[in-house]
Amino acid sequence: MENILKKEATQEIQKLASLRGGDEAALSSPQVTIRKRLPWLLANIGLYIGAASAIALFQNVISLVPVLAVIMPILSNTSGNVAIQAFSVTVRGLSVGEVTPQDTLKILRKEILAGLGTATALGISFSILCLIWFTPSERWVGLVAATAMAINVLIAAILGALVPIGLKQLNLDPALISGALLTTMLDAVSFISFLSLISVVLG
């Protein structure tokens, strides 16, 4: 029984890390490691190109405000981490039977409330950081970025919970959506929402 639980846990962890098949161990041969990891890493390049395409739509805006290039990785990384946290907790709850798709509204309510609290705290913290970090002429960008961060964090928390529940409803393994895929999707959302807000302000 213990071996079965270990095997299932290993497979779930490796799926979240985009390692399919569950046959890579810490001391696996380099050939096995390459075979398990390389396909998804190659696919990830395609996903990142898709996220980067969102940036390409706003090249003129970035050329007008170069500091945006510094801020965007912070926004995407923060929302990605929030999504992975919500995603991991929900996948675990579904895996051990702690929650079911019938608990969707309860989970959604929790994630919205937690997301609002987290978004507010991160938004305020980031705006203070930008006021210290940026020059006076750039501080307006920091305030827009703080607003975008709050929006993106809330979206990330909601998606991180709803995606695995939706897959479970479709009788699909929630771990099919890896952390890397989820964060790449949110990168595109982060870039588009932030750069759109900047475009509106520049007007």
Q: What is the CB-side half-sphere exposure of residue 121 using CA atoms within 13 A?
A: 8
Q: Give the Cα separation of 88 and 84 in Å (integer).
A: 6
- What pLDDT score was predicted for residue 171? 81
Q: Are 99 and 90 in contact (CB under 8 A)?
A: yes
Which amino acid is present at 58?
F
- The per-residue pLDDT for range 60-87, each reduced to its tens digit, is 888 888 888 888 888 888 888 898 888 8
Best CA proximity match to 153, nearest among 93, 76, 89, 87: 76
Which amino acid is present at 5?
L
- Classified as helix, coil or strand, 163 is helix
Q: Are 150 and 122 in contact (CB under 8 A)?
A: yes
Best CA proximity match to 95, nearest among 165, 38, 41: 165
pTM for the model: 0.76
* Helix runs in the chain, H state only: 2-16, 30-56, 59-64, 68-95, 104-133, 139-169, 179-202
Q: Are 158 and 112 in contact (CB under 8 A)?
A: yes
Best CA proximity match to 163, nearest among 143, 152, 179: 179
Handedness of CA 118, 119, 123, 124 (dihedral sign): negative
- The per-residue pLDDT for range 156-200, each reduced to its tens digit, is 999 888 888 888 888 877 766 666 677 788 888 888 889 999 999
CATH 1.10.3210.10 fits 60-202, yes or no: no
- The per-residue pLDDT for range 4-41, each reduced to its tens digit, is 544 554 555 555 555 555 555 666 678 877 877 777 77
